[in-house]
């Protein structure tokens, strides 16, 4: 029942956002004017205006062409600034009816006119139009998304607060994560290190962030078991963050003395250079457990196959659809797509992460209901038109301009 | 000296060194690996300076038309904070930079991720499944059932039991079928890379051997 209430609120707020977003449409063109057939057609009704809802630095030009007269070869967009300097900004093919000048400074008034070229000569010119560019704070085309994300944030905060107050937030078991402890334990028994590969993306990638959160938990486990943890990285910033996170894990486990900064090293930014380096580490160090969690591209199979060849237990996870098959084929456990993001919450059981996961589940439920209702409405709408408009309405809800 | 032949020989030798890994780890592979890692690390340092640091920071702080934009000192200071890790006493400053990078990265990707991976997908799934031929109807049904059951699989707030569990099983089955197809497709692409490398060795490198030995034309 609670989930359906969430769905209803989603729907209401989204409707508001969607209708606001619709109001950003540009006006339609108007009527053309005729000209004498003996002269070259020129541009008429030139309008220059600040491009709406942007970060500034842009002026939008729209115009019409005379339909009578000699057709010009091309059009030249001319501009003059307050100092009087006239420049040709661009040349456009005949028939073009709009242009966006993105080479202007905010707060400066520019004057525009358009010339018609025939045989390389300027044969006609339009009247002038003036405009001043400015930046706007709000882009209404994304208000729907703002509302949805704000609502998600509100739900997440609600669940976080519930978790903090002691409410049990349930998350189903994720196969593979239960094996994390086994993997670290196996490495300890065999006296071999654990290798953690956080992918090849930088810290601005959400998968790397998720991977680093899991690394913290793995580091804590390795510290508790007294097992060596190797983390080769392909981004210098990831190395810095990984060092911080692993250090924190060792401190939490009460083993700061066991932390070795040198085990977390930068190899290279190059994709295959990194793959070659990690392969070398696998062959020489022969880790008993390998974690491949984060963003991976073509190097995924190279890493997973080498890890398999050294007999390590492998736990992999990525949200890259093209690489998941390789991990499924070559690793013992694979976290598919969003399971990677859920893994950090599952392992830590922290209210913050669990609340975030619960909020995402609410959004998923909303989208599932939206799809089912939308598909039924569209299908039945083929035979009963009122439902067709319901389907169109639902499609508009999820449209971002 | 014929630089083209030298390049071909270097390429061929490094390729063979790397392929020697197929037998076992050996000094030739180690040499090629270290050469690759070292050269690429050096290359990326220069690449980053030339294509990131200078155009995105230095030239914006000191534009070509003259002047000084002080606001660009702020990212410069954050960059210096990262280097503070070298000095243990002030190493904590780097956390400010790291926090900024992680926060901005998560915030920016959240919007684009949500737009492309959620909203656009949902929009593309809302359509009539009863149009076209019987095959079209079947394809549409597979798409809709696949999307919804896939979402059910990735719903973490409920245990996969009963009808919910069966729906999730349908979802993961469809996902696995898709992964299988993707696997085969990508393997074909990898085979073409291998063929390309073999062609290089057989058609570019091998003919240079008789030329170097003075045999044949």
Task: Check residue A3 and give its pLDDT.
Answer: 52
Q: How far is CA A310 from the centre of its chain?
A: 36
Query: Is residue A185 domain-resident?
Result: yes
Average pLDDT, chain A: 87
Give me the mean pLDDT over the A116-134 stretch.
93
Q: Is 70 exceeded by the pLDDT of residue A124?
A: yes
Q: Do B123 and A203 count as a contact with CB atoms less than 8 A apart?
A: no
Look at residue A28 in the predicted model and tell me its pLDDT: 42
Q: Which residue has the tokens 């926090």?
A: B99
pLDDT for residue B128: 93
**Pairwise CB contact (< 8 Å): A276 & B113:** no
Co-location of A122 and A212 in the same domain? no
Q: Report pLDDT digits (tens) over A331-382.
A: 999 999 889 988 888 887 888 888 888 988 998 999 999 999 999 999 999 9
A373: helix, strand or coil: helix
* Domain containing residue A110: CATH number: 2.60.40.10
Q: How crowded is the C-beta side of A318, counted as CA atoms within 13 Å?
A: 27
Q: How far is CA A251 from CA A65, A219, A281, B204, in A?
A: 73, 10, 26, 56
**Testing the interface with A: which of B20, B29, B34, B37 to mutate, by most A Cβ within 10 A?**
B37
d(CA A387, CA B55): 54
Distance, CA of B16 to chain centre: 25
- My answer on whether A176 and A124 are in the same domain is no
Give residues 171 to 200 of B whose Cβ lies within 8 Å of A.
Answer: 172, 175-176, 178-180, 182-183, 186, 190
On whether both A278 and A197 belong to a single domain, the answer is: yes
Q: Within this chain, do residues A332 and A194 fall inside the same structural domain, yes or no?
A: yes
Closest approach of B98 to chain A, Cα-based (Å): 7
- Chain B nearest CA to A30, separation (Å): 32
Average pLDDT value for chain B: 90
A270/B36 touch (CB, cutoff 8 Å), yes or no:
yes
Whether A235 and A336 share a structural domain = yes
Asked whether residue A179 falls in the same domain as residue A124, the answer is no
Q: Are A390 and A370 within 8 A, CB to CB?
A: no
Per the structure, the count of domains in chain A is 2
Q: Whole domain around residue A92: which residue ranges?
A: 43-132
Task: For residues A202 and A110, state if they share a domain.
Answer: no
Residue A26 confidence (pLDDT) above 80: no
State the Cα–Cα distance between residues B184 and A219, nearest whole angstrom: 36
Q: At what angle do helices B73-83 and B94-114 cross, to 10 degrees?
A: 120
Is the pLDDT confidence value at A38 over 80? no
Q: With contacts defined as CB-CB under 8 Å, which chain B residues touch A275?
A: none
Helix (H, G, I), strand (E, B) or coil at B135: helix
Rounded percentage of chain A residues whose pLDDT exceeds 70: 90
ipTM of predicted complex: 0.76
The residues that bridge with A196 in the sheet, in sequence order, are A291
Give contacts of B114 with chain A, Cβ < 8 Å: 145, 148-149
Domain endpoint, select from A114, A132, A150:
A132
> Are both A220 and A341 inside the same structural domain?
yes
SS3 A82: coil
Same domain for A106 and A177, yes or no, is: no
Q: Half-sphere exposure (CA, 13 Å, Cβ side) for B44?
A: 18
On whether any CB of chain A is under 8 Å from the CB of B148, the answer is yes
The pair of three-digit structure tokens given for residue A180, joined into one six-digit string: 């994390």
The residues, ordered by sequence, that sit 6+ positions from A305 with a Cβ below 8 Å of its Cβ are A330
Single out the residue of A300, A266, A301, A305 nearest to residue A283, CA to CA.
A305
In a domain? residue A20: no
* Cβ atoms within 10 Å of A34's Cβ, excluding its own: 11
Q: What are phi and psi of A194, to 5 degrees?
A: -105, 135
CATH number at residue A180: 3.40.50.1220
Q: Tens digits of per-residue pLDDT, B50-80? A: 999 999 999 999 998 888 999 999 999 999 9
Asked whether residue A64 is domain-assigned, the answer is: yes
Distance CA B78, CA A233 (A): 21
Residue A8 has pLDDT above 60, yes or no: no
Rounded average pLDDT over A192-205: 92
Where does the pLDDT of residue A11 fall: very low under 50, low under 70, confident under 90, or very high at 90 and above?
Answer: low
- How many H-runs (helices) and E-runs (strands) does chain B carry? 9, 0
Task: Find, in chain A, the residue whose alpha carbon is nearest to that of B128.
Answer: A379
Within 8 A of B104 by CB-CB distance, chain A residues are 204
Same domain, A205 and A124: no
Per-residue pLDDT, A1: 47
Residues A121 and A263 in one domain: no
- A375–chain B Cβ distance below 8 A for any pair: yes
pLDDT value of position B143: 94
Tokens matching residue A385: 């038109």
Residue A184 lies in a domain: yes
The DSSP letter of residue A67 is: S
pLDDT of residue A204: 78
A21: confidence class by pLDDT, cuts 50, 70, 90? very low
Which of A311, A326, A349 is at the close of a domain? A349
Q: What would the mean pLDDT of A70-80 be, rounded to a whole number?
A: 94
Write down the pLDDT at residue A34: 45
Residue A148 is predicted with a pLDDT of 83
Secondary structure (3-state) at A155 = helix
Task: Please report the pLDDT score of residue A9 as a whole number.
Answer: 52
Give domain status of residue A205, yes or no: yes
pLDDT digits (tens, 9 = 90+) for B102-156: 888 888 888 888 888 888 899 999 999 998 899 999 999 999 999 999 999 999 9
The three-state secondary structure class of B63 is: coil
The secondary element (H helix, E strand) that includes residue B34 is helix B27-48
pTM reported for the whole predicted model: 0.73
| pLDDT at residue A75 greater than cutoff 90 | yes
What mean pLDDT do residues B27-44 have? 91
Residue located via tokens 């189903």: A172
Residue A321 lies in a domain: yes
* DSSP letter, residue A338: T
Using DSSP, state whether A139 is helix, strand or coil: coil
Residue A360 in any domain: the answer is: no
Lowest-confidence region among A13-17, A320-324, B67-71, B111-115 = A13-17
pLDDT score, position A289: 96
Tokens (6 digits) for B118: 């959620």
Choose one of A305, A327, A349: the last residue of a domain: A349
pLDDT at A12: 52
In a domain, A143, yes or no: no
Q: What is the pLDDT of residues A283-304, one digit of tens each?
A: 999 999 999 999 999 899 999 9
Do A272 and A175 lie in one domain? The reply is yes
User: In this structure, is the dihedral angle defined by the CA atoms of residues A262, A201, A175 and A278, taken in order, positive or negative?
Assistant: negative
């Amino acid at each position: 029942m609670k989930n359906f209430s969430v769905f209803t609120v989603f729907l209401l707020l989204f409707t508001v956002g969607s209708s606001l977003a619709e109001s950003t449409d540009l006006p339609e063109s108007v009527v053309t004017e005729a000209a004498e057939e003996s002269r070259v057609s020129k541009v008429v009704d030139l309008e220059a205006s600040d491009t709406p809802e942007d970060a500034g630095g842009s002026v939008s030009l729209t115009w019409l062409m005379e339909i009578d007269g000699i057709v010009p070869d091309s059009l030249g967009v001319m501009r003059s600034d307050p100092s009087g300097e006239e420049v040709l900004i661009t040349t456009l093919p005949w028939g073009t009816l709009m242009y966006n000048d993105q080479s202007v400074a905010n707060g400066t008034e520019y004057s525009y006119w358009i010339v018609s070229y025939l045989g390389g000569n300027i044969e006609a010119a339009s009247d002038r139009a003036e405009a001043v560019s400015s930046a706007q704070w709000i882009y209404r085309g994304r208000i729907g998304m703002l509302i949805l994300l704000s609502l998600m944030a509100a739900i997440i905060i609600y669940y976080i607060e519930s978790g903090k107050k002691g409410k049990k937030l349930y998350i189903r078991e994720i196969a593979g994560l239960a094996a994390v402890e086994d993997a670290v334990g196996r490495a300890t028994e065999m006296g071999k290190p654990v290798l953690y590969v956080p992918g090849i993306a930088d810290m601005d990638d959400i998968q790397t962030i998720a991977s680093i959160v899991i690394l913290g938990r793995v580091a804590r486990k390795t510290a508790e078991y007294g097992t060596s943890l190797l983390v080769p990285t392909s981004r210098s910033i990831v190395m810095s963050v990984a060092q911080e996170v692993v250090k924190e894990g060792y401190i939490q486990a009460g083993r700061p003395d066991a932390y070795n900064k040198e085990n977390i090293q930068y190899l290279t930014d190059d994709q295959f250079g990194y793959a070659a380096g990690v392969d070398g580490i696998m062959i020489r160090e022969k880790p008993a457990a390998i974690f491949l969690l984060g963003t991976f591209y073509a190097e995924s199979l190279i890493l997973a196959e080498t890890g398999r060849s050294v007999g390590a237990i492998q736990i992999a996870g990525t949200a890259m659809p093209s690489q998941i098959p390789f991990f499924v084929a070559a690793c013992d456990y694979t976290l598919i797509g969003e399971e990677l993001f859920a893994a950090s919450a599952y392992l830590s059981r922290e209210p913050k992460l669990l609340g975030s996961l619960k909020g995402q589940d609410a959004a998923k439920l909303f989208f599932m209901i939206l799809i089912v209702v939308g598909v039924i409405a569209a299908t039945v709408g083929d035979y009963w038109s009122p439902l067709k408009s319901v389907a169109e309405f639902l499609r508009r809800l999820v449209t971002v301009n | 000296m014929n630089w083209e032949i030298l390049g071909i020989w270097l390429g061929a030798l490094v390729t063979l060194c790397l392929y020697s890994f197929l037998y076992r780890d050996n000094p030739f592979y180690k040499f090629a690996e270290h050469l690759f890692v070292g050269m690429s690390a050096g290359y990326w340092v220069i690449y980053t300076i030339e294509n990131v640091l200078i155009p995105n920071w230095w030239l914006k702080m000191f534009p070509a038309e003259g002047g000084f934009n002080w606001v660009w000192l702020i990212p410069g200071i954050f960059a210096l904070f990262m280097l503070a890790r070298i000095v243990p006493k002030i190493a904590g400053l780097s956390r400010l930079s790291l926090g900024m990078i992680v926060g901005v990265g998560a915030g920016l990707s959240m919007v684009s991720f949500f737009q492309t991976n959620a909203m656009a997908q949902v929009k593309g799934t809302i359509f009539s499944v009863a149009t076209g031929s019987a095959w079209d109807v079947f394809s549409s049904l597979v798409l809709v059932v696949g999307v919804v059951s896939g979402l059910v699989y990735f719903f973490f707030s409920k245990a996969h039991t009963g009808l919910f569990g069966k729906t999730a099983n349908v979802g993961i089955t469809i996902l696995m079928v898709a992964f299988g197809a993707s696997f085969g497709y990508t393997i074909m692409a990898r085979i073409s890379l291998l063929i390309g490398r073999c062609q290089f060795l057989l058609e570019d490198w091998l003919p240079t051997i008789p030329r170097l030995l003075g045999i044949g034309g």
